[in-house]
Each structure stands twice: as structure tokens, then as C-alpha cells.
């Protein structure tokens, strides 16, 4: 039995979400996605591009605490070129979801009716354009029925049912790849692209996931357990990527 924390298990699951991405920009919101993307880049996806969070592309992998002693800049990405790049499609973003439904419709704009919100959140940000332009995944550190909901209050990121309604031409770049939460990994590999439980994290029961989800998940007969980090992965996370253990502060088990 590994001594990996839940955050570290999540980081490996995030890294797996970026497997196969090749030479594209990976953009992450949240600490665990930032750890996972770096892990992917340092192991099986060396061609991934990442920014320093401001306007530089870094050729080296910087720690998530943001205090890179010697950044090696390989490119310039002011917001103007990030927008161009994302419409060009060479990007995989992992965004937060304040709410997400069974088809992957996502909301981080506000809670309640948009005309009179109970809680204003981030706003639409880039979610509408991202979800129709390139691969999108979501990170949910606090899996609960308030996040995994029957119906999102506002649609900021396009899910599969709405993408289908737009037709194959408009939706040809739409791909909600994975949802990684503190309880498990989810995908949309079902005939009508409903969310499916792809794996449960070690120590989590399927019932726990069902109870924390506000809609009916597709659940196969034999749900695998999310892989534990290998010794090499743990060493990279703890020594190079997140020596301060910031990921452990983000993930509530």
C-alpha cells in the first residue's frame, strides 16, 4: 500500500487526462491540475507547452509554488495570442466547475438565475469559446451534489447534449475529455455521452461517489480503481513539482 495522499492520486489522474496530447498548450486552473500537467510533461508527454501563468512559455518545468529560480523562456503568450491559439485548437484546458451536469455542461458564472444571481462567481470567462474550440477537462476538488447537479443554473461551458444540438459542423472541435474529482475520474464514453464513472480513487467506494452525485451516473459492472502513483511519480511530485505540498491543501478527502 502506497502512502500517496488523495491529492497525489488526483494529480496522477490529471496527468493521465493529458496523455496523448503531444505538442499543445496545456492550461490549468487549480493546484492539482498544475501538478498533474507538470507530471505528465516530466514523464510521458514531454512535448506539452505550459505558461508561467503570466505571458511566458517556459521550456523548463517550474514548481507549482511559482518560485522558479531559473525560468527558461521559450515563447511569448500575451492574452491576444492565447485567444488566437485556443481558436486555432492546439490547447487542452482543465477548468473548474462550480456546477456540472451529466452531459458535461459546466457553470462557473453564477449560482441562481443569471438575471438575479444568489452568488456571482467568475463570469463566463473563456468557457464558451474553449469548449467549442479544443479539448476541455474539468477539475472538482470538492465532489458533492451541489457541484454534480441535475441541471446547471447557467451554462458557461458546452456539454455533449448541447453540442449535439448545435450539429456536427459547429461542434466538430468539441470534446469534454475527463472530469477528475477528489473521489474519482469520469468520462463521457457512453452511447449518448452521459457521464460515466471511469475509476474510483483508492479508499473511495462506488456508493460514496453515487451519494455525492446529484444525477445518475453511468456505472459499468467492473469499475477500476484509479492507479496509485508509482514511486517515480511520487518522487517527482514531492521533490520537483510540489515540494511545499500545496496540492494537499486543495483536496478535501
Measured distance CA(6)–CA(27) in Å, rounded: 22
Of the candidate residues 10, 25, 86, 149, the single one contacting another protein (CB under 8 A): 86
Using CB under 8 A, pick the residue from 156, 181, 182, 226 that binds another protein: 156
Q: Which of 65, 58, 67 is nearest to 25 (CA)?
A: 58
| Minimal distance, residue 114 CB to another protein, in Å | 6
Verify binding: residue 34, another protein, rule CB under 8 A: no
Query: Based on CB atoms, which residue is closest to another protein, 122 or 206?
Result: 122
Closest-CA residue to 179 (of 141, 210, 131, 214): 141
67 in contact with another protein (CB under 8 A): no
Question: Among all chains, which residue has been given the C-alpha cell 479544443?
Answer: 134
Which of 43, 57, 90, 114 touches another protein by CB under 8 A? Answer: 114
Asked if 59 is part of the footprint of another protein (rule: CB under 8 A), the reply reads: no
Specify the residue, 113 or 232, whose C-beta has the smaller distance to another protein. 113
90: contact with another protein by CB under 8 A: no
Q: Does 58 bind another protein (CB under 8 A)?
A: no
Confirm or reject binding of residue 1 to another protein (CB under 8 A).
Answer: no
By CB under 8 A, what part of segment 191-250 binds another protein?
none
Helix (H) or strand (E) holding 137: strand 135-140
Instruction: Find the shortest distance in angstroms from Cβ 115 to another protein.
Output: 8
| Site for another protein contains 89 (CB under 8 A) | no
Q: Choose which of 1, 3, 47, 54 interacts with another protein (CB under 8 A).
A: 54
Alpha helices in the chain (DSSP H): 6-17, 31-42, 79-88, 127-133, 160-166, 206-211, 231-235, 247-250
Element (H, E) at 184: strand 184-187
Please state, in angstroms and rounded to a whole number, the distance separating the CA atoms of residues 140 and 97: 6
The CB-of-251 to another protein minimum distance in angstroms stands at 18
CB 198 within 8 A of CB 187: yes
Tell whether residue 155 is a contact of another protein (CB under 8 A): yes
Nearest approach, Cβ of residue 86 and another protein (Å) = 8
Q: Does 65 bind another protein (CB under 8 A)?
A: no
Cα 186 to Cα 180: distance, rounded to the nearest angstrom: 6
| Strand pairing category for 91-96 and 73-76 | unpaired
Cell of 28: 490549468
Q: How far is Cα 83 from Cα 58, in angstroms, rounded to an integer? A: 18
Task: Report the b/e string of 154-176 with b at 16+ CB within 10 A.
Answer: bbbbbbbebbeeeeeeebeebbb
Residues in the chain, total: 253
Q: Total residues at the site for another protein (CB under 8 A)?
A: 42
Residue number with CB closer to another protein (100 or 158): 158
State the residues that interact with another protein by CB under 8 A.
Answer: 54-56, 76, 78-80, 83, 86-87, 109-110, 114, 116-129, 131-133, 154-158, 162-163, 165-166, 169-171
Amino acid at each position: 500500500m502506497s502512502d500517496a495522499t488523495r491529492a497525489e492520486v488526483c494529480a496522477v489522474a490529471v496527468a493521465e487526462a493529458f496523455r496523448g496530447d503531444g505538442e499543445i498548450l496545456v492550461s490549468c486552473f487549480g493546484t492539482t491540475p498544475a501538478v498533474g500537467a507538470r507530471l505528465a510533461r516530466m514523464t510521458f508527454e514531454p512535448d506539452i507547452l505550459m505558461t508561467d501563468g503570466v505571458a511566458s512559455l517556459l521550456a523548463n518545468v517550474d514548481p507549482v509554488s511559482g518560485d522558479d529560480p531559473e525560468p527558461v523562456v521559450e515563447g511569448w503568450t500575451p492574452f491576444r495570442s492565447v485567444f488566437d491559439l485556443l481558436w486555432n485548437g492546439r490547447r487542452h484546458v482543465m477548468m473548474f466547475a462550480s456546477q456540472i451536469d451529466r452531459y458535461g455542461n459546466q457553470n462557473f458564472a453564477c449560482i441562481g438565475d443569471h438575471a438575479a444571481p444568489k452568488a456571482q462567481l467568475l463570469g463566463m470567462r473563456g468557457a464558451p469559446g474553449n469548449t467549442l474550440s479544443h479539448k476541455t477537462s474539468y477539475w472538482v476538488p470538492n465532489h458533492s451534489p451541489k457541484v454534480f447537479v441535475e441541471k446547471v443554473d447557467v451554462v458557461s461551458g458546452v456539454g455533449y447534449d448541447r453540442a449535439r444540438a448545435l450539429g456536427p459542423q459547429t461542434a466538430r472541435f468539441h470534446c469534454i475529455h475527463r472530469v477528475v474529482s477528489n473521489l474519482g475520474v469520469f468520462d463521457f464514453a457512453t452511447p449518448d455521452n452521459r457521464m460515466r464513472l471511469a475509476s474510483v480513487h483508492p479508499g473511495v467506494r462506488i456508493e460514496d461517489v453515487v451519494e455525492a452525485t446529484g444525477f445518475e451516473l453511468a456505472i459499468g459492472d467492473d469499475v477500476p480503481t484509479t492507479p496509485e502513483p508509482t514511486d517515480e511519480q511520487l518522487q517527482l511530485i514531492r521533490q520537483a513539482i510540489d515540494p511545499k505540498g500545496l496540492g494537499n491543501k486543495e483536496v478535501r478527502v
